């Protein structure tokens, strides 16, 4: 059984200068958006507010299973984390409130 993965931003000492992220698996979460698409590009994104390097993937949506999705979708995730997307590959993505629930390669 595969559980959804959520990226959670943790506050450390209520400091506006430090961002800490964690990954957790939460059972019984409904993900209202599900679509399939091909990765058009993957770029690194560096923020001065976060010590973690992120990647930004632009996805061309080929089919929508549920929810409202534009023709193109951009998602951000932690580089070197549990998710790694490759250009030209097709993935099914489930999301809730712009957070990734599940990604599977087709």
Model confidence at 6: pLDDT above 50: no
Mapped to the 3 state alphabet, what secondary structure does the chain carry? Answer: CCCCEEEEEECCCCCCCCCEEEEEECCCCCCCEEEEEEEEEEEEECCCCCCCCEEEEEEEEEEEEECCCCCEEEEEEECCCCCCCCCCCEEEEEEECCEEEEEEEC
The domain ranges of the chain are 30-105
pLDDT of residue 97: 86
pLDDT digits (tens, 9 = 90+) for 8-55: 444 444 445 455 455 555 555 688 999 999 999 999 887 767 778 889
Q: Tell me the pTM.
A: 0.69
């Amino acid at each position: 059984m595969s559980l959804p993965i959520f990226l959670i931003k943790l506050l450390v000492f209520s400091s506006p200068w430090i961002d800490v992220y964690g990954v957790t698996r939460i059972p019984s979460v409904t993900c209202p958006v599900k679509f399939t698409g091909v990765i058009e590009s993957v770029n690194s994104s560096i923020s001065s507010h976060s010590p973690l390097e992120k990647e930004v993937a632009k996805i061309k949506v080929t089919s929508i299973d549920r929810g409202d999705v534009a023709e193109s979708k951009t998602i951000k995730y932690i580089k070197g984390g549990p998710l790694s997307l490759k250009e030209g590959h097709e993935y099914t993505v489930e999301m809730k409130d712009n957070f990734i629930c599940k990604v599977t390669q087709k």
